[in-house]
Amino acid sequence: MKFELLKSEKVFQGRAFSIQRDTMRTPSGRETYFDIIGHYGSVVLIPIDAEGNILFVRQYRHAAQTELLELPAGTLDGPNEPRLECAERELREETGYGAKKMLALGDFFLVPGYSTELMSVYLATELYEDALDPDEDEFLALEKFPVGQALSMAETGKIPDAKTLAALLMARSHLSVYLK
């Protein structure tokens, strides 16, 4: 299938993303448009402490109008920030811990129907205290769950956050050593 880009116009530039409208010619020859959210990309972390607990953060998400239990995550500071550096920073900001080992598990598009955001997943182990101040708009509560309980919560719909669910699925083969 061949789509042809006819025109691209930026209609909004925000702090974390932009919106562009792309006019396209479809394979059937029809003209249509797509509104695309341009995003630098992001990371999500699966931090596991020495006791075999996964560290989560609970935070209010205004778009969802509720607090959500999520894995720590964050946005790249710009298009050139290395993903590992972002992951290390976000882990320290959101959990107060650094990690001696960071294993890259892979990437996924968060919502490819309308966003360019590519999210990278890291398994963070051998944690040590190394806090950074959180972002000014972040109010997080740290919560810990044994790996088995965290996976059960994900499988039974108790974690409605897509990035958390995708990251846990990607990490599943690495998590079996923590199951009791």
Give the pLDDT confidence of 1-39 residue by residue, as tens digits.
799 999 999 999 988 899 999 999 999 999 999 999 999
Residues 48 and 22 grouped into a single domain:
no
| Residues 6 or more apart whose Cβ sits within 8 Å of residue 87 | 43, 45, 102, 120, 122, 124
Residues 122 and 173 grouped into a single domain:
yes
Nearest to 158 by CA among 7, 89, 56: 56
- Percent share of the chain, pLDDT over 70: 99
Residues 13 and 56 grouped into a single domain:
no
Residues 52 and 127 grouped into a single domain:
yes
Residues 111 and 26 grouped into a single domain:
no
Residues 72 and 28 grouped into a single domain:
no
For residue 128, what pLDDT is reported?
97
Residues 55 and 99 grouped into a single domain:
yes
Residues 169 and 128 grouped into a single domain:
yes
For the chain, the domain total comes to: 2
Number of Cβ within 10 Å of residue 104's Cβ equals 13
| Residues 6 or more apart whose Cβ sits within 8 Å of residue 83 | 41, 43, 76, 104, 120
- Percent share of the chain, pLDDT over 90: 89
**Structural domain that includes position 70:** 40-178
Nearest to 122 by CA among 55, 180, 63, 177: 55
For residue 138, what pLDDT is reported?
78
Residues 12 and 56 grouped into a single domain:
no
Nearest to 56 by CA among 172, 168, 173: 168
pTM: 0.92
Residues 91 and 9 grouped into a single domain:
no
Condensed to tens digits (0 to 9), the pLDDT of residues 65-112 reads 999 999 999 999 988 999 999 999 999 999 999 999 999 999 999 999
Residues 23 and 109 grouped into a single domain:
no
Sheet holding 97-109, edge to edge: 73-75, 42-47, 118-129, 97-109
Question: Does 134 have pLDDT greater than 80?
Answer: no
Residues 174 and 162 grouped into a single domain:
yes
Give the residue-averaged pLDDT of 122-150.
92
